[in-house]
Each structure stands twice: as structure tokens, then as C-alpha cells.
Amino acid sequence: MLIKRPTSWTLKDNQVTDEKIYQQRRHLLKQMGFIGAGALLASHQASGISLFGDDEPRFQTHALDYAEAQQQSQILTPEAKVIGHNNFYEFGTDKSDPKANAQAFQVDPWQLRVDGLVETPFTLSFDELFKFAPLQERIYRLRCVEAWSMVIPWVGFSLNALLNKARPLSSGKYVAFETLYDPKQMPGQSNPFRGGGIDYPYVEGLRIDEAAHPLSFLAVGLYGKSLPAQNGAPIRLVVPWKYGFKSIKSIVRISVVDKQPPTTWNLLAAQEYGFYANVNPKVDHPRWSQARERRITTGGLFSSNRIDTQLFNGYDEVASLYSGMDLRQHY
């Protein structure tokens, strides 16, 4: 059995969650390991199938987290809000649209193609997404450019694990990502009013050293279950030090490229959304301040706390990626 060892930046569960959720999770984590793809095969839809189970435990897990040490009072955003308040314009632009419109989204079969300037291109099927690497839990803050934020327990593996398998060539300088294009399933892609004016497919990109940073994560689940469609099933990126729009959902292609790839929000409004999109309280959006954020938390459906936004969303370990760069110019 593979034991995922905690590293120096790992925090104990009870430092990051409120008491009730902590007890529930501790119970799950103690009693069960993550299970493999076996139990997921039954479903052809993205519907939150449990990734915990008692058959064939693959490995123990610790709640992995990087920077919660700085904010020990943080509380997980309740699952109902994580899966009910979403940005996924392919399914509509209101926060409640994705959940309402994505329930029939078919994610199996799926193909994730990894290609471009790599030695070993490959394709992962739906089942293979869950077996590609030992699944880890990562509790990350997600800070939307719209100034709301959540704390979400993701399940998945590091993007670097995937890149290592593909073996990028030295000519590869960036990584480009692409969401599924399927207007029959995604109403926003066929109707410009419902899709927010985006020219689909949704595309994103990272510099290759950003992509290789251990914080860059590919999520296949959240709250211990496979991803609900509205959160980007079956696999989505999570880059916690950047604004949420970088964390592209329902990915079908990851390509290593030599030039900075086009990115959806930059194409739509270049003066408002740059390529880097690092969370930065000192660089305001042209139409609103980024100094503070509304942390969506426990309590009623709309309850939230106003808190200060932190540079790199508090993930200081990425600062060296940008040494010597003017963060105002490269917003």
C-alpha cells in the first residue's frame, strides 16, 4: 500500500476545518482509503460518486495543504455552496446556472489528450483519469476575480505528475489547456447570450515553470467524491494563487507549446484580464478593487465574511516564480 507522507507544509486536519466537518472527514480518512476507479465505472455522468470506500484501499491520505498555516481559523466552504455557486459559462452565466444545466453532462467516455512539444504524447480515458497517480486531497483557497472566495477540499494529483509522464522538450515554454467543445451539451456554446460572449472552446495557459510548481493541481474530485459536472468534471485545473478563471474546467487537451498561448478572458477583455492573473490586492481590476474579498462560509446560503485579499492568495511559495517581474505590468 502506498502511504502518502505528509511534508513540512502539511497541516493537521483540525487546523483547517470547523469541528463538525473535521470529525466527519477524520472518520472517513481513518476508516477508509481512497478507492480506485472501480467504483466510479458504474456512473456515466458526473454526479459526485464517492472516492472513499472500504474495498481495496489504495493508500492512506492526509489532508494536504500548503498555506493554511497562515490562516488557521479558516473554515471549509460548505459543500452545498461549492457545488451550487459556480462559474462555468458553458452552462450559463448565473451562479446557479451550471448546477441547473449540467446535470445530464456526459463525462464518460472522455478523452484527455496530452501532446505538443513532448517526448511522449498520450491520451487518458475517463477511467484512467482516476488511476493516473495516487489521489491526494488538497485544501485550497479559490479566489475569483469577482472578489468572492471559497476554501475547497479537492481530490486529484499534481499537474507536474502528468507533465513528467509526457516529458516536455526543452523547447516547451508554456502549457495550453482546452475545455470540451460540445454545443449540444453546453448551451452557452451555441447561444452567445447564454455563454457570456466567449468564443468557445474555453482556453487557458500557464508558463511551464508555473505548471510544474507542486501547487498546480489537476482535480478529479472534491469533498471526497468525483467532481460534480458544474465544478468541471471529469478533470479540471486548480491553480490556487491565481484568479479562478485560470482554473479551467472539463479539460480535453493539455499541450506543451513554445509561445504564450491565448487565454479566454484575455481574448475577451485584455485590459481587464491578463495572462498571469496572479491574485494581488494591490492591482485592482479596472472596474473594482481587489483589496478585499467575500469569503463564502458556513451559515445561510448567502453568508460570507469580508477579509483582506493576500498577494498570491497567500501562497507565498510561488513568489520566486515572479522575481524581477513587474506584477502591475504582468497582471
Residues that bind ligand MTE (CB under 6 A): 86-90, 142, 144, 179, 202, 231-232, 244-245, 247-250
Contact region for Mo ion (CB under 5 A) — 119-127, 238-246, 257-265, 312-320? 238-246
87, 101, 264, 280: residue in contact with Mo ion (rule CB under 5 A): 87
Closest CA to 195 of 101, 310, 295: 101
Cβ atoms of 156 and 237 closer than 8 Å? no
Q: Furthest-apart CA pair in the chain: how many Å?
A: 52
290 binds, among Mo ion, ligand MTE, none (CB under 5 to 8 A by kind): none
Nearer to ligand MTE, 17 or 247 (CB): 247
244 part of the interface to Mo ion, by CB under 5 A:
yes
Question: Is 160 part of any known ligand binding site?
Answer: no
4 appears as a binding residue in the annotation: no
Partner interacting with residue 247 (select from ligand MTE, Mo ion, none; CB below 5-8 Å by kind) = ligand MTE
Query: Which residue has 493541481 as its cell numbers?
Result: 217
Q: Is 261 in the site for Mo ion (CB under 5 A)?
A: no
Positions 20 through 59 that interact with Mo ion (CB under 5 A): none
Is there a binding annotation on residue 93?
no
3 state SS for the chain: CEECCCCCCCCCHHHCCCHHHHHHHHHHHHHCEECCHHHHCCCCECECCECEECCCCCEECCEECCCHHHHCCCCCCCHHHHCCCCCCHHHCCCCCHHHHHCCCCECCCCEEEEEECECCCEEEEHHHHCCCCCCEEEEEEEECCCCEEEEEEEEEEEHHHHHHHHCECCCCCEEEEEECCCCCCCHHHHCCCCCCCCCCCCEEEEEHHHHHCCCCEEEEEECCEECEHHHCCCCEEECCCECHHHCCCCEEEEEEECCCCCCHHHHHCCCCCCCCCECCCCCCECCECCCEEEEECCCCCCCEEEEECCHHHHCHHHHHHHCCCCCCCCC
Considering CB distances under 5 to 8 angstroms, the limit depending on partner class, which of ligand MTE, Mo ion, none binds residue 194?
A: none
From the CB of 150, what's the least distance to ligand MTE, in Å? 6
Q: Is 298 annotated as a binding residue?
A: no
| Residue 305, marked binder | no
- Minimum Å gap between C-beta 57 and ligand MTE is 27
Is 247 marked as a binding-site residue? yes
- Stretch of 84-92, 170-178, 189-197, 316-324 contacting Mo ion, by CB under 5 A: 84-92
CB of 299 to Mo ion, least distance (A): 22
> Is the distance from CB of 277 to CB of 233 less than 8 angstroms?
no
Measured in whole angstroms, how far is the alpha carbon of residue 34 from the centre of its chain?
19
List the beta bridge partners of residue 106: 45
- Residue 245 as a binder of Mo ion (CB under 5 A): the answer is yes
Q: Which does 126 bind (CB under 5 to 8 A by kind): Mo ion, ligand MTE, none?
A: none
Rounded least distance, CB 123 to Mo ion, Å: 29
Closest separation between CB of residue 244 and ligand MTE, Å? 2
Is 144 labeled as ligand-binding?
A: yes
**Any binding-site annotation on 86?**
yes
**Minimum separation from the CB atom of position 232 to ligand MTE (A):** 6
> Judged by CB, which is closer to ligand MTE: 32, or 310?
310
Under the binding rule (CB under 5 A), the answer on residue 144 touching Mo ion is yes
Give the pairing of strands 52-53 and 217-222: unpaired
Least distance in angstroms from the C-beta of 203 to Mo ion: 15
Please tell me whether 26 is known to bind a ligand: no
Q: Interface with Mo ion by CB under 5 A: which range of 52-60, 79-87, 184-192, 202-210?
A: 79-87
Q: Which residues bind Mo ion (CB under 5 A)?
A: 87, 144, 244-245
